[in-house]
Structure 1
């Protein structure tokens, strides 16, 4: 994935990230190409109850870490050609290049599945109820851990997975099919990036006009809530400190999306993301990003703000 060598680069993604923390790609990406990739994925994988271990199998050898896609265990590695509609789209590469420089690099790309309630075993629903992060990877059979599976995740920053790293990257999210209000769409909190990095779970309280978000150091910002819904090919990108999350999938089918993390080169210090970061009122990196897990990686906190959204 590389930016075009010539042609104008819009300043809109940079100004959008400065002003509100995210940018939606005008017109999205090729919906037909998204549909073709979706069809190929569904030829390889069913997203029903057969994904899951039994309760007895899980309890015999619980594993909470190392259960997400990794090099050599990533379903998207089969689809380099089909991903051209994302990685070679002129409008998208121009937008990303404007933010990160034309030599940007992909840190990670993977398929995200919002698992429908009908597919999640009852024993598992009971066990994870109220958890802030319902990443279902620990409960999925090992051969299916080439995809990340969620059943709702509380408002979080993507900095959460990058302790001690500067917020020099963005997230790109692409819907592979139409996503409406019942399809586990993302909720995103405008302005939340302005406080920089803060510890998860975050300090949030809801009112009629959105959310009040605090950094636990006296700083606060008001955050209008936006629901990211749209057709196949819908594409949005956001800052590493922008809060977002999803509720459990209320539809009778899975929600399948592409998630890219894309960074500027460490040697570059003159990019759009640096201009964005210069406007933030808080830290760009954290020595600790979360306190919701025990030493084994299991949830020790029962709280979930996004379910109030």
Structure 2
């Protein structure tokens, strides 16, 4: 009797990409016209320049480093719920996310993320944040504008960083609302970095070339990873695993970079993410996710790896 060959199981392309590289880039953008329309409304709401920020004296009178990000009731996207179908109901996105998270997936979080241009960040702020691994500008932004997350570059990190003691059962979906070039603070993503599972930020990375890195988990695990720079037009969309390292350099353009960021969590049933996570070499849950912040939320580490890229 001849032994029968059993063909390897075929996965959805998004699941295969997550297993291999920890990310999936959608071939087709979401509706560029709808992205442009939402962008116009967001930009009409405020000036994304120096007027966003407190003066140095105002900041020093009452410095606040925590509680300065969007939250329920203070989230600009809550005012534009009716315009988000071009992302949340896009057939390709729903198909890819469902393959990974199951049909019962939920939205953990969604918000506008703004990479603020160098020309718009006051010099006194740039001097204070120089070398910080996470330049979240929320502490310096006027309270009425803290319904958006503002960055001036952020070192390679995992999105697990914000979810201590939660398993990596979620993914990040990111949408560019306008064309993003190399000068517009595009996302840098390290392919295959998710294989080491959750590791504590800041991460142990050594550049091995202009576009590759050696990544160590501190427990003997090592991954050689290639750097992918996510540039694209309006509506460009990508998603990645909660353990995939990514970040941005400061915005070198003369205008802001405005995007949408969703965190989407697995539903109650077995899904592609379970198969992805079964291939990882490290933990899916961390009791400590970062060591870069002091008790008051102020940066206590002055080291930034991504700016070497």
Q: Which TM bucket (shorter chain)?
A: over 0.9
1:159 equivalent in alignment to 2:160: yes
**Residue 83 of structure 2 aligns to a residue in which SS?**
coil
Query: What's the offset of the Cα at 1:223?
Result: 0.5
Q: Give matches, 1:1-309, under 5 Å.
A: 11-208=12-209, 210-265=212-267, 267-268=268-269, 270-309=270-309
Question: Structure 2 CA distance, aligned partners of 1:222 and 1:32?
Answer: 39
Unmatched 5+ stretches in structure 1: 1-8
Query: What's the offset of the Cα at 1:68?
Result: 0.3
Q: Deviations over 1:143-179 (max 9, x none)?
A: 0000000000000000000000000000000000000
Instruction: Tell me the residue number matched to 1:5.
Output: none
Question: Structure 2 CA distance, aligned partners of 1:46 and 1:102?
Answer: 39
Query: What's the offset of the Cα at 1:80?
Result: 1.1
Question: Number of residue pairs matched?
Answer: 299
Q: Deviations over 1:184-228 (max 9, x none)?
A: 000000010000000000000001250000000111000100000
Q: Deviations over 1:59-80 (max 9, x none)?
A: 1111111100000000000111
Question: Structure 2 CA distance, aligned partners of 1:139 and 1:53?
Answer: 6
Question: Structure 2 CA distance, aligned partners of 1:91 and 1:187?
Answer: 23
**Residue 46 of structure 1 aligns to a residue in which SS?**
coil
Question: Structure 2 CA distance, aligned partners of 1:80 and 1:52?
Answer: 27
- Cα RMSD over matched residues? 1.0
Question: Structure 1 CA distance, aligned partners of 2:62 and 2:272?
Answer: 46
TM-score, length-scaled by structure 2: 0.96
**Residue 224 of structure 1 aligns to a residue in which SS?**
strand
Question: Structure 1 CA distance, aligned partners of 2:83 and 2:179?
Answer: 18
Question: Structure 2 CA distance, aligned partners of 1:92 and 1:130?
Answer: 36
**Residue 131 of structure 1 aligns to a residue in which SS?**
coil
Structure (1 or 2) with the larger CA radius of gyration: 2
Which piece of structure 1 moves more, 42-51 or 128-137? 42-51
Query: What's the offset of the Cα at 1:10?
Result: 7.4
Query: What's the offset of the Cα at 1:27?
Result: 1.1
**Residue 298 of structure 1 aligns to a residue in which SS?**
coil
Q: Deviations over 1:118-167 (max 9, x none)?
A: 11000000000000000000000000000000000000000000000000
Question: Structure 2 CA distance, aligned partners of 1:296 and 1:228?
Answer: 33
Question: Structure 1 CA distance, aligned partners of 2:262 and 2:14?
Answer: 16
**Residue 258 of structure 1 aligns to a residue in which SS?**
strand
**Residue 44 of structure 2 aligns to a residue in which SS?**
helix
Unmatched 5+ stretches in structure 2: 1-9
Question: Structure 2 CA distance, aligned partners of 1:24 and 1:252?
Answer: 27
**Residue 166 of structure 1 aligns to a residue in which SS?**
coil
**Residue 252 of structure 1 aligns to a residue in which SS?**
coil
